[in-house]
Amino acid sequence: MKGISTTLIIIVTAIVILVAAIVVLTIFGEAIWPIVDITQARSTCIQQAGATCLASGRLPTTWNAQFYYKEGDTKKLGSCKTFYPSCKCEDNSLVDCTLA
């Protein structure tokens, strides 16, 4: 009987650890985003802007959201508006979307 109770304790402990890990990752999940290259960040911004503008007539709701990107060896904080400050959506089309 002692062998079964030891096994049960190990299984319960493992489940508790897994649940705790899931809770921690859920709470702090926003801080675990990868740092993207500046070229990929710019490309993603303009693709999302084009698709959202065409579909809804406005820029994405995440347009001003801050994220980390890598320029050379430097980690920087910015947003899509950082890259394309004058970009607008007019008549379901992007206007003035030139790099800053």
Domain residue spans of the chain: 1-32, 35-100
What is this structure's pTM? 0.62
pLDDT single digits (tens) 21-54: 887 777 665 555 567 889 999 999 999 999 999 9
Mean pLDDT of the chain: 87
User: Which has more confidence, 28 or 82?
Assistant: 82
What is the pLDDT at residue 31?
52
Query: Could you give the CA distance from residue 46 to residue 74 in angstroms, rounded to a whole number?
Result: 22
The pLDDT value given to residue 1: 61
Answer whether 75's CB lies under 8 Å from 68's CB.
yes
The alpha carbon torsion through 71, 74, 77, 82 (nearest 10 deg) reads -30
58 pLDDT above the threshold of 90: yes
Structure tokens at 96: 């003035």
- Tokens in use for 1? 């009987």
